[in-house]
């Protein structure tokens, strides 16, 4: 195992009926006002907004609001939130929603003390930021684990860029997770979120790290559990026990614990390739991963089949004397699972035209070379998109 430091300061309050505790958590740090950040109408329909607002009112905490955060969030909403806070300061930021809302809120919290355009945070300035407003979140969609990590991912359509920044200051102080409010999610949201959860584990399992058998075993168990939970929730969206395990799996997949001892935090090439599809074509994040992860894996496993063969054996029980054959079999079974739960497994399935492949490859190549298993050049990236078509 490589040396590592694992630190996750987020307090998670988990379970039915926990949402009103957001007010007492804010009051405990002396907050008198908090900017609520949310997306569309979902939090009004499922009662979450009412629970939060009534709890805050009882504690005498003011709550100006910023709604309208979209999936695949953009920098314009961050700028709007930062401008609001600079005009009328608050003591905290409270995201109410899923990963897009949390990512936006993190950037707003950081941008509140940044004198220039908040997009600069995503261009390298965010790493060294020394001050941010505290975040206290209420999660309504499990997938990205933004509720328990220090990552913010935002798009800038004008620059055709989707990227991230990390900083310890943007870990949420508290995240409240009531899985019961997620029973209203659509099947597509459940499937896409589940694939994102799996991908966070797989990006690490596939990086080829040695000497991390315990951490890998945890990752394999998480993937196998998700392969049970996603079909269960397609069958019965109101299955609380399945929802609860799904929500906790999301936290465990991307809270940093699966990176311990790896040296790298994972490969994450599939995420980078998928981000381009979300940015340019509006593809849901989980759907982009269902397409790009198998294509990327097929392309790079010929250089290093070992991690893919280990995965095939641990998750699917594949046995073969030929390691590369094992690897291919495991990748095919993973892709078959994605297909079985209704996820697209090709760019055609995402309605991305063949003529758009070069545009996608050019956009993704702006960050090249990237990758741990194989450092992907612009030429490699183009070939992977072709393979995904």
Q: Where are the alpha helices (DSSP H) in 59-186?
A: 75-87, 99-111
Give the pLDDT of residue 372.
Answer: 95
Q: What is the pTM of this model?
A: 0.97
Give the pLDDT of residue 113.
Answer: 95
Give the pLDDT of residue 358.
Answer: 97
Query: Contact, 140 vs 176, CB < 8 A?
Result: no
Token pair listed for 317: 């029980």
93 φ/ψ angles, rounded to the nearest 5 degrees: -120, 135
- For residue 184, cis peptide bond before it (omega within 30 degrees of 0): no
Q: What is the pLDDT along the chain (389 residues), one digit of tens a residue?
A: 999 999 999 999 999 999 999 999 999 999 999 999 999 999 999 999 999 999 999 999 999 999 999 999 999 999 999 999 999 999 999 999 999 999 999 999 999 999 999 999 999 999 889 999 999 999 999 999 999 999 999 999 999 999 999 999 999 999 999 999 999 999 999 999 999 999 999 999 999 999 999 999 999 999 999 999 999 999 999 999 999 999 999 999 999 999 999 988 899 999 999 999 999 999 999 999 999 999 999 999 999 999 999 999 999 999 999 999 999 999 999 999 999 999 999 999 999 999 999 999 999 999 899 999 999 999 999 999 999 99
Tokens 């590369």 belong to residue: 324
DSSP 341: T
Give the pLDDT of residue 265.
Answer: 82
Query: Contact, 337 vs 227, CB < 8 A?
Result: yes
The C-alpha atoms of residue 81 and residue 77 are separated, in whole angstroms, by: 6
Of 148, 73, 149, nearest to 118 by C-alpha is: 73
The C-alpha atoms of residue 332 and residue 176 are separated, in whole angstroms, by: 37
Task: Please report the domains of the chain, with CATH numbers, ordered by start residue.
Answer: 11-180 (3.40.50.1970), 186-388 (1.20.1090.10)
Give the pLDDT of residue 271.
Answer: 97
DSSP 237: T
Token pair listed for 3: 């040396």
378 φ/ψ angles, rounded to the nearest 5 degrees: -60, -40
The C-alpha atoms of residue 65 and residue 73 are separated, in whole angstroms, by: 17
Give the pLDDT of residue 264.
Answer: 80
Of 164, 12, 36, 8, nearest to 97 by C-alpha is: 36
What 3-state DSSP class applies to 268?
A: coil
Query: Contact, 179 vs 242, CB < 8 A?
Result: no
Handedness of CA 317, 319, 322, 328 (dihedral sign): negative
């Amino acid at each position: 195992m490589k040396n590592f430091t694992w630190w996750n300061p987020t307090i998670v309050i988990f379970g039915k009926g926990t949402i009103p505790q957001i007010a007492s958590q804010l009051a405990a740090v002396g907050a008198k006002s908090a900017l609520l950040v949310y997306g569309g109408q979902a939090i009004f329909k499922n009662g979450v907004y009412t629970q939060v607002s009534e709890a805050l009112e009882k504690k005498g905490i003011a709550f100006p609001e910023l709604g309208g955060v979209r999936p695949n969030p953009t920098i314009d909403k961050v700028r709007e939130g930062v401008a609001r806070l600079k005009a009328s300061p608050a003591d905290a930021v409270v995201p109410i929603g899923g990963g897009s809302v949390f990512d936006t809120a993190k950037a707003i919290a950081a941008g509140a003390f940044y004198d220039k355009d908040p997009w600069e945070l995503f261009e390298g300035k965010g790493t060294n930021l020394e001050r941010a407003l505290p975040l206290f979140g209420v999660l309504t969609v499990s997938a990205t684990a933004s509720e328990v990590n220090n990552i913010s991912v935002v798009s800038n359509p004008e620059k055709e860029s989707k990227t991230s920044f990390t900083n310890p200051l943007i870990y949420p102080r508290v995240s409240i997770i009531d899985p019961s409010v997620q029973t209203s999610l659509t099947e597509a949201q459940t499937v896409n979120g589940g694939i994102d959860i799996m991908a966070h584990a797989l990006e690490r399992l596939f990086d080829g790290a040695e000497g991390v058998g315990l951490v890998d075993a945890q990752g394999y168990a998480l993937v196998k559990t998700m392969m049970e939970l996603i079909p269960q929730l397609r069958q019965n969206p109101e299955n609380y026990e399945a929802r609860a395990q799904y929500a906790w799996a999301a936290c465990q997949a991307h809270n940093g614990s699966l990176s311990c001892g790896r040296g790298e935090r994972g490969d994450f090439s599939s995420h980078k390739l998928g981000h381009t599809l979300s940015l340019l074509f509006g593809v849901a994040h989980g759907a982009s991963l269902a397409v790009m992860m198998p294509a990327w894996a097929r392309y790079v496993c010929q250089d290093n089949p070992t991690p893919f063969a280990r995965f095939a054996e641990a998750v699917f029980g594949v046995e073969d004397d030929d390691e590369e054959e094992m690897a291919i079999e495991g990748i095919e079974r993973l892709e078959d699972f994605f297909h079985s739960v209704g996820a697209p497994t090709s760019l055609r399935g995402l309605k991305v035209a063949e003529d758009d492949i070069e545009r996608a490859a050019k956009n993704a190549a702006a960050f090249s070379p990237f990758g741990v298993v194989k450092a992907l050049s612009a030429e490699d990236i183009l070939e992977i998109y072709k393979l995904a078509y």
